[in-house]
Chain A
């Protein structure tokens, strides 16, 4: 197993470097650069000022030199300096990381637990009204755009009912501590986490249902039933466990995106996370910041791919590691 892990990490490093190089060029292919954007914001974009900014950011150097400098930094875990925010990229990302992990982690937990639960219920009572209701709801949640759900949730729960706050991470200026602070953050978290969670919950529910129905038809389930096992045990130990592999795959993919956050949801709810940081960096062509976020997100995806492979083995012992 150790050889397997070592080999996968080796491959991941190569993939990560390839991602860095590819992103480096892709970002620069987009029209406009940070110097023009910042000069524009200052309302005084004379050519000298723009040239000064380019020199300051190192954008006046040939692209291969810029790439070499950047990769050299990455190798020594230096993600560079944000042009616009005038701060080290790693500091900016670390500042936003807790909020993003809280949001996406909560959404992940909600969607995985409820999705598998609803999928199991639908499969257990396939063809019943429970199944129909869950299937229709899952279809609706799966097909509805996130930003629309977010805006409708705000209209309903913030504007009409005044139950939940519409923006931010906490009540600014309230200075809550302890439990009161946790409750406050929780209240701010409900809408954005649910908005993200609904889509994935629908996906898990549909996938669990389909997979379980497939497994239910297999011979070993009939054997278990013939042995006289209780239905609950059959469903949990034989059907669900064998049906979980595709769900684990999907969960691995979703977990990989945890750090990337949710650009739309974070923007609509003014959640101070990495998704928003990435979106703003894109609009401002803050190359280093954007690349830094991409590097961290890519590393997370690669890490979770590896973790998913390891979980496969524990879910299904028939799978062996091949170094």
Chain B
């Protein structure tokens, strides 16, 4: 059956590719699911997943990215980099207006950067090498860096650096500005209505700067809190789009077999969600490298991929996902080998001490995965105790390092300097946050490699540095890498051209159209 699903997916991808060539039709209403309900839609203030998914239609970034992470024009129509890699010059599109009719200019870009430095922690760290920003004219913006920063061209997508209207926010308290409730961007869709607990309604921007786009007239984002109810809403035809993660994985094969239903795993290349088990390097059995290597050999990750994730995703070979830059395959590999795991446990002197396993409380799929991992570990003789928590409890326990083995997954944002290093460098061993080097791995060589990799120039040098880092990490096994995740997006097949970039649905419905 699995094979059939996979063949189906391949065919669907093929059909999607064919759909690109079809002539788009204008008009229609799309009903999509959003879960959980976003806390706000002002993307400069709130950067969680659901906010990005809805507000990616309202706001825009300077660049977009192809599935291969090549920069594409967004609000910037072209860009250049100086030979020394320190000066980037962007030419903005002309004729772009905010939803209230005011023109979008380079002054808005400068203002957005200052705004986001205060509100966007990820961008703040991405801009650490920024020396100055200049605006020679209304449609040109020049960034000068203190030193070359390899991933610089990768920080301009809408979620990382949304453009904020200066004329609305300048001189106001950003957090209490009334415009936060009626967000104004330059995007293809405009905010219309939000009935809390029910739906968010967006309508077509009639003055969008790309003639003819968007094709769709209206989007309704429905808030449906229960995963089974979301599956039923799709099955009964009440919604047309289930973004990745909307339904439990075990429902995906059933829904994908329905008539006029298409499934795709693409649109996650930029985020490249990478899952692993944090192994507490500080104390207990998991502080022993041989024990950690034994865990890697004990895990049947192909089973997890094929059964729990319905064949979607890939087995992770190391700290960097295969879709991000500088992924290296020249690493130490760990195939499923319980005998080797047992031998390593013996060498590690493991005596059956209890090991606490903290699942990720994100629903049934993750619970089942935790049970499979527990079974794998028990099979090689590890004494595992599962600890139950909810999301805040999981945050607290991992932030306080109160675990032995803990499930997690993090986005990698296309480049090791943006989303990989934070989990392995020792300056990121900071109690009180669940999204850094929680396992407590400390290796001065790795610290130096990640520091060098971020500023090395050109890319060939970075590639060499990151290859070395990946090899060392796969030898040391600070964490047990699981899968490169893919969250399938499920749609009616007549919703065409929905996913065209590396951030998928988060890039909005700009290019999507309905084949009626």
CB distance from B442 to the nearest CB of A (A): 17
B222 touches A40 (CB 8 A): no
CB distance from A177 to the nearest CB of B (A): 16
- Closest residue on chain A to residue B225 by CB atoms: A267
- Residue count of chain B within 8 Å CB distance of chain A: 55
Bitwise, B189-207 to A at CB < 8 A (1) or not (0) is 0000001111101000000
Stretch from A8-16, A84-92, A213-221 that touches the partner? A84-92
Bitwise, A157-179 to B at CB < 8 A (1) or not (0) is 01100100111111011000000
| Interface residue ranges of B112-156 to A (CB < 8 Å) | 120-122, 125
A270 touches B229 (CB 8 A): yes
Q: Contact residue range for chain A?
A: 35 or more
CB distance from B422 to the nearest CB of A (A): 9
- Closest residue on chain B to residue A54 by CB atoms: B432
Bitwise, B88-125 to A at CB < 8 A (1) or not (0) is 00000000000000000000000000000000111001
For residue A34, which residues in chain B have a CB less than 8 angstroms away from its CB? 392
For residue A280, which residues in chain B have a CB less than 8 angstroms away from its CB? 36-37, 225
Question: A80 within 8 Å of B by Cβ?
Answer: no
Assuming the contacts A30-B393, A44-B47, A168-B222, asked whether A50 and B229 have C-beta atoms less than 8 A apart, the reply is no
A36 touches B392 (CB 8 A): yes
Question: B238 within 8 Å of A by Cβ?
Answer: yes
For residue B122, which residues in chain A have a CB less than 8 angstroms away from its CB? 42-44
- Closest residue on chain A to residue B195 by CB atoms: A272
Bound Cα distance A154, B31 (Å)? 20
Stretch from B8-16, B309-317, B339-347, B433-441 that touches the partner? B433-441
B399 touches A36 (CB 8 A): yes
A158 touches B236 (CB 8 A): yes
- The residue from A38, A50, A166 contacting B233, defined by CB atoms under 8 A apart: A166
For residue A170, which residues in chain B have a CB less than 8 angstroms away from its CB? 198
Question: B487 within 8 Å of A by Cβ?
Answer: no
Question: A312 within 8 Å of B by Cβ?
Answer: no
A272 touches B196 (CB 8 A): yes
Bitwise, A269-298 to B at CB < 8 A (1) or not (0) is 110110011011001110000000000000
A32 touches B226 (CB 8 A): no
Question: B484 within 8 Å of A by Cβ?
Answer: no
Bound Cα distance A30, B226 (Å)? 23
- The residue from B29, B196, B226 contacting A92, defined by CB atoms under 8 A apart: B196
A30 touches B121 (CB 8 A): no
Question: A117 within 8 Å of B by Cβ?
Answer: no
CB distance from A36 to the nearest CB of B (A): 4
Which residues of B are at the interface with A, using a C-beta cutoff of 8 A? 29, 31, 36-37, 39-40, 46-49, 120-122, 125, 175, 180, 195-199, 201, 218, 220, 222-226, 228-229, 232-233, 235-236, 238, 389-397, 399, 410-411, 430-436
